[in-house]
Each structure stands twice: as structure tokens, then as C-alpha cells.
Structure 1
Amino acid sequence: MYDFAIIGGGIVGLSTAMTLGKRYPDAQILILEKEGTWAFHQTGNNSGVIHSGVYYKPGSFKAKFCRDGATSMVQFCQEHNIDHEVCGKVIVATNEQELPRLENLYNRGLENGIKVKRITPEEVKEVEPHVKSVGGIRVYSTGIVNYKQVCLKYAEIIQKQGGDLRLNTKVLRIVPSGQIMVLETNNGNFETKFVINCAGLHSDRIAKLNNVDPKAKIVPFRGEYYELVPEKRYLVKTLIYPVPNPDFPFLGVHFTRMIDNSVHAGPNAVLSLKREGYTKTDFDLRDFAEVMTYPGFWKLAAKHADEGIKEIIRSFSKAAFVKSLQQLIPEIQAADVIPTHAGVRAQALMDDGKLVDDFLIIHGQNSINVCNAPSPAATSSLEIGKAIVAQIPEQSHLTCSVTA
């Protein structure tokens, strides 16, 4: 019998388990992951950025979690000797029409308590010599890290706490039995008093298995990247972002120097035909049918039809992708970039076509369901774990540590 069972071994699930272990040192904690390694999906395929929180609406969970998370993530990496770097980034306007949006972004950064600075085109070139701009913002707290390494450290800490970590274990059904829930899996059944759903791309389905209506559906969007060839990595020193289009829910293609010194360019954002579809040919009939029959998707598609078509063109045309990169670094040529891995974003979408823009955490009977954990979930993972654990009703049968 377990006190808590966490479904999902990505960075949010592992952080939650680790925080639970600190709060309740004598609790029996189970972590179930259907894949053979931790952080296999969203966490293991993201850009590795420690985000600052400059983009997010002041007062939102995203803004608070990200600002605090950037600090706690760096502290965690320092404490556990995980490779990371607080290199900062520039957000640049490439034409005069973008300058008012850049100013709004600067003010938002100030409202969110982030160290930001307006910089001239000449000052942009001092940071990133190959960027063409009409102005920019320097964001100092942005960093880079390998989140797989972070997750492996989380898992190591959980194991030392006495947690039971189970890979290759997929939850098939959740059967209530009085105050106990039975998790039926491909590797046997597990009884638990409390369930925490951190299943990412499948979080809405797991919620429904537990008789919880998330009021939203996960729609998968694939982000495709190119990588600079080694001899062209000198073109990017840190991280370079465009001014985002406020009418489109994604940030636009940008350049990211990774912790291994490679440089990734992208992503675009296209509908994935499979929830775990990392290539253009990946297809799952159930996943595809769910999206195609969901009214919210068609409302979203109609609203963003023009931008959506551009994203699809970039997906199939390297020339179009490179042209978008040239808006930031004009000297980039097609021969300078090669395809690299893609990631899939689990985006919660409402029936009315509105994207769930913030974290969506829904309570059920003896359960908590994290039904939307968008970027910056990796950056914010330590803070999200604390917030989830703080929402769990006090467990009187367990010893609670006040230092957790």
C-alpha cells in the first residue's frame, strides 16, 4: 500500500515526488513511468533553457513559478554539480513596427521583477555580433542546462528518500475501492491512498481514468529544429529571440546555444498527428481522430489560419525555415544548418478554441491532476512540485517535516 502514487516520470512528476519525500519522510511513495527512461518525452526533448519569465502575464502562475524557478533551478544545479550556465539572452526587434511590442515586453519584465535592460542596435551587436536589429532587450537571468541530468538527480534523491521508482509501467485503469485506488498497469496492480497525475501528453486521459473531467483536451504540437553545423556555431554566442507575435501562441523561431555548445535554431510549431509524434510520418489513428473531431481545434485553426499555414510551409521547406532565421542573422545560409531532433508540446485546449495559457491543476477525490504544464515547466519544476504538494490535504497519519 502506498501513500502517494505519481503517474508520469517527467520533470514535474519527479519534482513532485522529491518534494513529497521531503515533506513526509516516512511516506510510501510510488512513481510510475511507462517508458524505459526518465524524462523521455517533453522534458527530454526541450531546448534546455532556464527561462527568466519575461513573457508571462504578471500575477500568473507562469510568471511567479518561472521567476522563482529560475533561481531555484540554478541553486539546485550548483548544489549538485550539474552543468549549467546563466548566459542571458537578447530579444530583438527586426523592424520599426516591432518596437512598441518590444517596449511592452520590457515593461512586462519589470513588472515580473526580472532584470532587463533596453539596448540599442549597437549594444545588441556587442552581445551578438551577427544579429541585425533596430533595438533589443537584454535579459540577464536566462540560462541553459540539460534537463535530463536534472531529472536523473531528482530520481537519485527520490531513491535515497526510499521512493519506489518503476519504469516500463503503464497505467491502464484506475479502480476506486473505498478510500483506496487501485492502479492497474501492464506490470501488476498498485494500491494507493492518493494519486498525482503528471502524465504530460496523456494527462487528460489519465484524469478521465480517475473520473475527473479536465474541461480541456491535450492537442500535440511538434516543434522542429535545425542545428548549426560546428564551423558556424560562432554566429551565436548566447540565446537570440525575436519579438513574439501577440496574436500567435508560440514564440517564433530563435537561436539557442545548448549546454554542450551546439546551437539549435527553431522551432516552428505544427500539429502532430500523434501525441508522441516526433517525425512528420508519425501517426496514431486515435490521437488524430480525437483532434479532428474536437470543436476547439477547428476554432483555434480558424483563428490562426495564416500563421498556421506559414508554420506548415516552414516544416516542409528548408528554404522557408532558413528565411525566417535570416530575419535575425542575415548571413545564415541553408548549408549552415542541418535537421536535428524535434519536441512535442502538450497543449491543453478548451472547447471554445482558447489555449489554456497557464498551469491547469484540477482536484479530484484523493487526487490532483496536472492537466497543463506548459513551458516554462522545466524551469519551474521545483516550484511546481512545491505548489502541488502544498495543495494536498494534510495527511494526519504521516509525519510532516516543516522544512520541506
Structure 2
Amino acid sequence: MNKEKSYDFIIIGAGIIGLTIAKNLKQKYSDSKIAIIEKESEIGFHSSGRNSGVLHAGFYYTADSLKAKFTKEGCLYWRNYCEKNKLKINKCGKVVVCKNEGELETLYELKNRGDKNGVPLEVINEKELSNYEPNAKTFKKALWSPLTATIDPKEILSNLKYNLEKEGVDFYFNTSYKYRIDEKSIKAGNFIFKYEKLINASGLYADSIAKDFGFSKDYIIIPFKGVYLEYTGNDKPIKTNIYPVPNIKNPFLGVHYTIKVDGTIKIGPTAIPAFWRENYKGLDRFKLNEFLQIITWETKLFLTNAFGFRSLALEEIKKYNKNYLIDQAISLVKKIDKSKFTKWGKPGIRAQLLNIKTKELVQDFVVEGDKYSVHILNAVSPAFTASYPFTKWIVQNYIN
């Protein structure tokens, strides 16, 4: 027999978006009854817990985007949050370096975007670059971003959960969403949950759950697998995050160096098209219906080369070769021992939204909803950084 549970708000997904939604709801509606349901046995099992740990400063995004609106504010929020709660943070900054003359124009475009978004950035020359990261190399100019930092995503998630539970938020783990019953109830796990409003923050399954409520008609999530490779030497040849100038038409930032909170250096990520939503390793979590749906769309994109998907996929597949991935990273520095890149990190899956009408990967955050439910359909990088102000905006604009 199914047990009934009644709440003011039901949140699907215990990642950073789900937890910060709950935090913002409690701040606005302090007496509200809130439950977070999660199909896994812990918080942050998927994207949030496998996040790179970078707090982005907010200069990649055009000023009219939600990403531009929330990333800098989110970066400052989490920097302060870590200090206030005595959580680990590495305020190492970041440099963006050029490989050739052709990348200088994009470098200045990033500076222009940063200026419009109110992000502190400095264009520096090769000599000045050595003051920030002696091992980085660039062609003529580079960008210095002092706001960029790294954190431990799982530590922040655990702290949020602890504080939310103190405020009376209930967590239901191993409780998978099954289906919508009516406008104000769902079946999940062994329970029927009744609610005034449901918030879908389920990441990789946000689109499929949204379709049960009449949303996500123009979208489908296409998963991309990201993997990092760690430097295992005892020396520390790099102290600052080093990124290449990106292709700004592409949602991925290219192979780069990230300095973790403990000083560990890692390179990556890959952005390899995955074949089902939780395609982490081998045939683990394989679902035939997902495989058929996703492979159909990936084949269409590959054959039509929509948004350059074919060249993107072929380039990313090369990164399965460890030496190729390392060589991509080595091009950004003066000297590093490639033999010490030996440890693969835990893979993550990017829940990337595809507009099935325009055949384009959606680069900005996407939210749809009505008076009964809200669906966060596209919460890709820098969603962790932007999460608190982004979900505050959702509460202000979609929940009343």
C-alpha cells in the first residue's frame, strides 16, 4: 500500500539546484513544508558531485543571458559561504591563454563580455603572465581572472543538506519519480506525494519528467561524458587554473588545467557524446530506450553536422587517447612531466539540452512552468557557481 505524504513543495533532485531551491524557498517561506526526493542513495550523486569544483567568474557569457546575470554573483556568494562556514576554498585565480594570432580577437571579446557583466579582468602580456603563472605560455596576450576559485562540491552539498535538515526540510533517498497522478500529486518510490507546487531539478532526467507535465516540448537532453586526468607527481608545477581561448560558439571550454582545493592538478575534461543518460562506465545503468532515443538524435546531428556536431564529436573522441588529451594540455604550458598524468578522475555526465526544432545545443539556462510545477531544463556549467542567485530568481519569478 502506498503511503501518502503532503508538502507545500516537492523538489525532485538532490543536486546543487535542488538544494539551493530549498534554501531559497525556506528564506522566502520559512514555515513551508518542503521535501526533496532523490532516486540515488545520497546527495550530488550525478553532475553536482562530479563537478570540476571551479567557481567561474562570469566572463564567458553574453550580457543578455541568465548565465551572465547570475555567475559573478554566485561566485561571490560561494566564496563568502565557504569562508563563513569554514569550508575549503582555493582562491588561485585563472589565466586564459592564446595559441596564435587568430585567438586574440576572441580573447578581447571575452574581456568585453567581462566588462559588460561587471567581472574584474585584466589583459596582460607574456611578461606579466609569468607573475600569475610562471609555467603558462601564451601568444602575446592573456587574461587574468582574480575571482575564479576552486571548491569541494561535495563539501558544500553536505553543508547545505545539514543546514536544510536543521530547518525542517525532509530528504527521501532511494525514491525515484515514477509518474504524475494529477496536478497536485505524483508517485515516487513507495509514496504518493501531494503538494502545492512541484519543482523538477532532476538534471539528466529533467526533460523526460517535464514532458509528463506538458513541458519540454521543444527539447531533449543529449548527454556528454566528461573525464579529468590527474597529475600524480609530488611537485607542483602549476599553481593557477590555465584555460585556452575557447570557441565561443561551442558550449565546451576545451582541455584546461584545474587546481583542486588540495592543490592537485588535473587536466580535461573530455566532452564525449554519451549513448545513454548515465553512461559512466561500460554497460552500467544501460537503458535500451534511452540508447535508442539518444543514438538516433546523435546520428541525425552527425549526418547533418548541425552546429558542427560532427567535427566536435570526432575531436572529442580523440581524447579517449590519453596521450592526445595530455598533448592538448601540454600546449598551454612551458614544461611539465607528461608521465605523471596517471590517474583518471570520476567521470561526470553533462545534461546538455538540445532544441529539436533548431537542432542547436542550448547554451543558456532554461526554465518552464505553470502554477502547479516548475522545470529546470538546462542547468549546465556554470550551474554550480550560479546556483544560489539562479534559484533565488526561480523562486521569485515562478513560485508565489
Is this a same-fold pair by TM over 0.5? yes
What amino acid sits opposite 1:164 in the alignment? D
Report what 2:91 is aligned to. 86
Report what 2:15 is aligned to. 10
Q: How does 1:2-401 map to 2 (within 5 A)?
A: 2-134=7-139, 135-176=141-182, 181-232=184-235, 234-279=236-281, 282=284, 283-294=286-297, 297-298=301-302, 299=304, 303-315=308-320, 317-338=321-342, 339-351=344-356, 352-394=358-400
C-alpha distance in 1 between matches for 2:47 and 2:353: 14
Pairs aligned (count): 389
Larger CA deviation: 154-163 vs 47-56: 154-163
Larger CA deviation: 369-378 vs 80-89: 80-89
Larger CA deviation: 297-306 vs 337-346: 297-306
SS of residue in 1 equivalent to 2:347: strand
- Normalising by structure 2, what TM-score? 0.93
The 1:114/1:393 distance shift into structure 2, 3 A limit, reads: closer
- The alpha carbon displacement at 1:302 in A equals 6.9
- The alpha carbon displacement at 1:294 in A equals 2.9
8 Å CA contact 2:95–2:144 kept in 1: the answer is: yes
- The alpha carbon displacement at 1:247 in A equals 3.9
Q: Which digits, 9 at most, give the CA deviation of each residue in 1:225-274, with x for residues without a partner?
A: 11011324x12101000000234331000000001221110012101122
8 Å CA contact 1:197–1:203 kept in 2: the answer is: yes
8 Å CA contact 1:265–1:325 kept in 2: the answer is: yes
8 Å CA contact 2:57–2:145 kept in 1: the answer is: yes
- Normalising by structure 1, what TM-score? 0.92
8 Å CA contact 2:228–2:268 kept in 1: the answer is: yes
C-alpha distance in 2 between matches for 1:354 and 1:363: 22
Q: Which digits, 9 at most, give the CA deviation of each residue in 1:313-334, with x for residues without a partner?
A: 111x112112111210243344
C-alpha distance in 2 between matches for 1:369 and 1:13: 11
- The alpha carbon displacement at 1:209 in A equals 2.2
- The alpha carbon displacement at 1:85 in A equals 2.6
Q: Which digits, 9 at most, give the CA deviation of each residue in 1:86-140, with x for residues without a partner?
A: 2210001022221111111111111111111111112112221222212201011
- The alpha carbon displacement at 1:278 in A equals 1.9
C-alpha distance in 2 between matches for 1:148 and 1:219: 25
Q: Which digits, 9 at most, give the CA deviation of each residue in 1:270-312, with x for residues without a partner?
A: 0112211223655432222111223874445672322321210
Q: % of aligned pairs identical?
A: 34
8 Å CA contact 1:346–1:372 kept in 2: the answer is: yes
C-alpha distance in 1 between matches for 2:399 and 2:42: 31
8 Å CA contact 1:197–1:370 kept in 2: the answer is: yes
C-alpha distance in 1 between matches for 2:29 and 2:352: 32
8 Å CA contact 2:369–2:398 kept in 1: the answer is: no
C-alpha distance in 2 between matches for 1:286 and 1:236: 44
RMSD of aligned Cα (Å):
1.7
Larger CA deviation: 49-58 vs 98-107: 98-107
C-alpha distance in 2 between matches for 1:141 and 1:97: 26
Report what 2:3 is aligned to. none
8 Å CA contact 1:253–1:267 kept in 2: the answer is: yes
C-alpha distance in 1 between matches for 2:72 and 2:84: 19
What amino acid sits opposite 1:211 in the alignment? G
SS of residue in 1 equivalent to 2:181: strand
- The alpha carbon displacement at 1:340 in A equals 2.0
Q: Which digits, 9 at most, give the CA deviation of each residue in 1:140-197, with x for residues without a partner?
A: 1111111111111211221111111111111101111xxx522212232211111000
C-alpha distance in 1 between matches for 2:362 and 2:163: 32
